[in-house]
Amino acid sequence: MDKLTNSTIERQNILNNKFALERIQEYVGLPGMLFEGEYRFTKQMVADFFEVDTSTIDRYLEKYSDELKHNGYILSRGKQLKEFKLQFGHLIDKATKITQLGLFNFRSFLNLAMLLVESQRARHLRSKMLDIVIDTINQKTGGNTKYINQRDTDYLTSAIKEPKYRKQFTQALNDYLEMGNYKYAIYTDKIYEYIFKEKAKEYKEILKLKKNDNIRETMYAEVLDLIASFEAGLAHEMGKKSRELGRKLYPAEVDSIFKEFASHPAQLPHVEKARVKMASRDLHFRDAFHKRLEQYIQSVSTEDFDRFLGEQSMDFDEQLEQAKDIFKRLKDSE
């Protein structure tokens, strides 16, 4: 529970997960005032629920003002306040004298619950919301978060295309690098290290994969696309250099090509995006912490929750069924 009070990212991950929020709201059952399409709660209502003074709420509003506003807390004034008082003024003490009124929506109410350390009710709610989040993810994925990446409808397209570039890369290693078969494992690991700073073995350990698990089957579409880009680009550069020299390349020469290619400014935005996606999604969905990518961890976006848990997501077997025609066209074209 401490990770909620201490981590903005952990808090935002829950608040961006509309599927978990629906279940948490049902569990809490706090009656509010439906205003402008959302249930609203006054500072006094929130203080009463958490069994703290309004002065305590004020302290948190001051300290975490930007975060609470980001998640829906408003300070109602003018026309908006006038309309609110017309509907709910009878529920507010001294409503006629109020010129501004702080209002929480359910997201900002939960946000406050994740911050309040003085309230036993808030502590209990933090514990329960974590249980609900875990249960929601397990329900949506059938308990198999190892392959949650495959619920993204972009995954299949990336997975179909990637072996073509992999073949180009391994063929280039075969044709242009003077080295034994160990080169395939070494230079595949180099690509992984340049993109997400981990060798295949380390990646497997972090995701708790079995020995025979294919690690690319667990990778997000954006990561697969970037690996394919590296494979195709490096194959081209190795061939170009080999033809210039009129011979096969030595490992040091290929290492130099890798280093120059990976550090090219055109690659950096794509590499950083892939690192953010992988580190952030794996931590929340898979409880897998990539230590070397810690600086890239951000909250998971609402779009990503839709992508992997919502209506945009799709069971991989369903995707395969729908893609039969694509596979048939690919086979016929061979």
pTM of the complete model = 0.86
161 lies in the same domain as 292: yes
Tell me, what's the pLDDT at 333?
Answer: 52
Q: What is the mean pLDDT of residues 271-275?
A: 96
Q: How many structural domains are present in the chain?
A: 2
CA distance 107 to 32: 13
CA distance 270 to 222: 9
CA distance 241 to 257: 9
39 lies in the same domain as 17: yes
- The single-letter code of the amino acid at 212 is N
Q: Which residue's structure tokens are 């951000």?
A: 298
Tell me, what's the pLDDT at 93?
Answer: 67
63 lies in the same domain as 134: yes
Tell me, what's the pLDDT at 144?
Answer: 85
Helices and strands, number each (H, E), in the chain = 18, 4
Beta strand pairing status for 100-104 and 74-77?
antiparallel
Q: What is the pLDDT of residues 111-123, one digit of tens each?
A: 999 999 999 999 9
Q: Which one is predicted more confidently, 56 or 312?
A: 56
130 lies in the same domain as 265: no
129 lies in the same domain as 202: no
pLDDT-based confidence at residue 313 (cuts at 50, 70, 90)? confident
> By C-alpha distance, which of 51, 53, 70, 58 is closest to 11?
70
188 lies in the same domain as 317: yes
264 pLDDT exceeds 80? Answer: yes
For residue 10 the two structure tokens come to 């952990």
153 lies in the same domain as 103: no
Q: What is the pLDDT of residues 216-253, one digit of tens each?
A: 999 999 999 999 999 999 999 999 999 999 999 999 99
Q: Looking at 141, 162, 180, which one is the last position of a domain?
A: 141
> By C-alpha distance, which of 51, 41, 14, 42 is closest to 136?
14
134 lies in the same domain as 172: no
CA distance 15 to 37: 18
CA distance 81 to 75: 9
Question: b or e along 76-102 (b: 16 or more beta carbons within 10 Å of the residue's beta carbon)?
Answer: beeeebeebbeebeeebeeeeeeeebb
Tell me, what's the pLDDT at 142?
Answer: 84
325 pLDDT exceeds 90? Answer: no
Tell me, what's the pLDDT at 331?
Answer: 46
DSSP of 63-78: HTHHHHHHTT-EEEEH
Q: What is the pLDDT of residues 143-156, one digit of tens each?
A: 889 999 999 989 98
Chain center to CA of 302: 9
Tell me, what's the pLDDT at 259?
Answer: 94
Q: What is the pLDDT of residues 26-84, one digit of tens each?
A: 999 988 999 999 999 999 999 999 999 999 999 999 999 999 999 999 999 999 988 98
Query: Where in the sequence is the domain holding 46, given as residue range(s)?
Result: 2-141
Considering just the CA atoms, what is the radius of gyration of the chain in Å? 26
The phi, psi pair for 311, rounded to 5°, reads: -65, -25
Q: What is the pLDDT of residues 178-200, one digit of tens each?
A: 999 999 999 999 999 999 999 99
**Cβ neighbour number for residue 200 with a 10 Å cutoff:** 16
318 pLDDT exceeds 70? Answer: no
Q: Looking at 92, 116, 141, which one is the last position of a domain?
A: 141
324 pLDDT exceeds 70? Answer: no
Tell me, what's the pLDDT at 332?
Answer: 54
192 lies in the same domain as 304: yes
Q: Which one is predicted more confidently, 96 or 22?
A: 22
130 lies in the same domain as 179: no
Q: What is the pLDDT of residues 127-141, one digit of tens each?
A: 999 999 999 999 988
124 lies in the same domain as 198: no
214 lies in the same domain as 234: yes
- Mean pLDDT across the chain: 91
Q: Looking at 141, 173, 205, which one is the last position of a domain?
A: 141
Tell me, what's the pLDDT at 229?
Answer: 96
pLDDT-based confidence at residue 320 (cuts at 50, 70, 90)? low
